[in-house]
Amino acid sequence: MRPAQLFALGFAIIILAGALLLCLPVSNRDGHSIPFINALFTSCSATCVTGLVVYDTWSQFTAFGQVVIICLIQIGGLGFMTFAILISMAAGKRIGLRERINVSEAVGAGRLGGVVKLARRTIFGTLIIEGLGAIILAIRFSADFPAGTAIWYGVFHSISAFCNAGFDLMGVLKPGSSLMLYVGDPTVNFTIMALIVLGGLGFVVWDDAVTNKFRFKRLNLHSKLVLTYTAGAIIISALLFLVTERDGVFRGMNAGTRVLASLFCAVTPRTAGFNTVDVGAMSQGGTLLTTLLMIIGAGSGSTGGGVKISTFAVMVLSVIAYTRGHRDVNVMQRRIDQDVCRRAFCSVLLYLGVALLSGLVICATQPLPLTNVLFECFSAIGTVGLTTGITSKLWLLPKAIIILLMYSGRVGSLTLFMAISLFKNDSTRFPEEQVIIG
């Protein structure tokens, strides 16, 4: 099997196994099995670290069901190939060339050398960051819940945030509220945002930063672009949210709470799924901005989805270079390969095409507002998890489409098409001829 096929099949198997476990009566508070399509939806959402739900997680699932969900989130966030390497190392098994190729494809390393070290750093780095996040959140939640509950909530929300999943247990306070009751809480907001950003940078960026002792000038071009464009996206979008929602969902908030809410609104749409304000009540400008951020997504090889911030950066740089009449795409005294530019545009076109076609099919099968449907589709394929409130209202076919979108978003639209493609590489070159553009 090609790496793309193995990657796609592995996620499908994990999703199916998770759905079967969530169907069990022991997973549900009422002691009865839930419909398989709903269990499949929840399992896919957790494994693909999306966060869209048909049930409130705390209200529907028992402690066992919550453990199943958080395990799916952890495996889905880090990638099953990373866990396979960890198990192989623990068993003393030699990591062969095939395994190195598969891990390299899964984490987007782009190289074979050092992938085992990268996998090891990924696992230990994840445990350290999630552990620190869990401790901070547990201490904060201890003011609202008993000690044991606070610890579990700290662990659950730390893993969910770092893996950019967006699942929460705050239904214990108000079903479907996510983190809206903590909109003005600096500890919860900054901890969750830090976990989201760190998880969304990408494991390759981590490895590069550690190797070069966090010196920006020594980082490779990919890491520099991811860090620069991530910071720019957060700052610019936070300022825009302050403007678009000043008379919207931010109305009545004091200055400090508005700043926290705008920063959270800027961070979470890039694949996290948590929300501290009512997404369905946002202005048209805020909804559009959120959708654009969902499309952009997180870093390549990270726990997040979207077209990826590096892909977006390459597209922007390509457009700038073309409009200036430059033959090459140059940035930071480096030149980006033309194949990378073509792959970026191809990936984005497939991403948008799949999302828009899915929205068309859903609108044709169920009478729902177009804006809400498209928002849901981009949230699903971007593995974000934000919703305007229509997830629980979806019929069978639209629900199945959203499942496929979440799966496609986690595996990657381009990777999925490559995995199911029956075409082989063709080296034939035909005569060139001009086509008029624009």
pLDDT tens digits, one per residue of 374-431? 999 999 998 888 888 888 889 999 999 999 999 888 776 555 555 555 555 556 778 8
Extended beta strands in 216-341, E state: 329-331, 334-336
Can you give the pLDDT at residue 109? 55
Can you give the pLDDT at residue 374? 92
Could you tell me if residue 365 is inside a domain? yes
Can you give the pLDDT at residue 88? 62
| Torsion of Cα atoms, 404 then 410 then 413 then 418, to 10° | -100
Closest CA to 21 of 9, 10, 34: 34
Asked whether the beta carbons of 190 and 198 are under 8 A apart, the reply is no
Can you give the pLDDT at residue 101? 65
Could you tell me if residue 430 is inside a domain? no
Please give the structure tokens belonging to residue 350.
Answer: 């497939």
CA 246 to the chain's CA centroid: 28
Q: H-type helices in 92-146, by residue range?
A: 97-107, 115-141
Can you give the pLDDT at residue 146? 94
Closest CA to 72 of 147, 19, 125: 19
Domain that holds residue 41: 3-415
Can you give the pLDDT at residue 26? 96
Can you give the pLDDT at residue 254? 92
Q: How far apart are CA 415 and CA 4, in angstroms?
A: 6
In sequence order, what are the beta bridge partners of 329?
336
Among left, alpha and beta (phi > 0; psi -120 to 50; other), residue 51 is left
Residue 201: is it exposed, middle or buried by C-beta count within 10 angstroms (0-12/13-18/19+)? buried
Helix axes 255-267, 284-296, angle to 10 degrees: 40
Helix (H, G, I), strand (E, B) or coil at 348: helix
Could you tell me if residue 221 is inside a domain? yes
Asked whether the beta carbons of 85 and 91 are under 8 A apart, the reply is no
Residues of the chain with pLDDT under 50: none
Q: How far apart are CA 331 and CA 306, in angstroms?
A: 23
Can you give the pLDDT at residue 389? 85
Please give the structure tokens belonging to residue 181.
Answer: 């009751």
Closest CA to 223 of 239, 201, 199: 201
Can you give the pLDDT at residue 58? 93
Helix (H, G, I), strand (E, B) or coil at 334: strand
| Torsion of Cα atoms, 325 then 326 then 330 then 336, to 10° | 110
Q: H-type helices in 24-110, by residue range?
A: 36-47, 57-60, 63-78, 80-90, 97-107
Could you tell me if residue 206 is inside a domain? yes
In sequence order, what are the beta bridge partners of 330?
335
Q: What distance separates the 2 farthest-apart alpha carbons in the chain?
A: 73
Can you give the pLDDT at residue 361? 94
Burial 110-149 (b: 16+ CB within 10 A, else e): eeeeebbebbebbbeebeebbeebbebbbebbbeebeeee
Asked whether the beta carbons of 133 and 104 are under 8 A apart, the reply is no
Q: From residue 291, how far is each of 232, 271, 304 by CA, in Å?
A: 17, 11, 15
Bridging pattern class, strands 329-331 and 334-336: antiparallel
Neighbouring C-beta atoms of residue 181, cutoff 10 Å: 14
Q: How far apart are CA 158 and CA 152, in angstroms?
A: 10
Asked whether the beta carbons of 412 and 381 are under 8 A apart, the reply is no
Split into its structural domains, the chain has a count of 1
Please give the structure tokens belonging to residue 384.
Answer: 């974000």
Closest CA to 182 of 173, 76, 293: 173
pTM check: above 0.85? yes
Q: How far apart are CA 270 and CA 263, in angstroms?
A: 12
Q: H-type helices in 324-428, by residue range?
A: 338-365, 370-381, 396-411, 413-420
Could you tell me if residue 154 is inside a domain? yes
CA 1 to the chain's CA centroid: 26
Beta-carbon contacts of 212 under 8 Å, excluding residues fewer than 6 positions away, are 218, 219
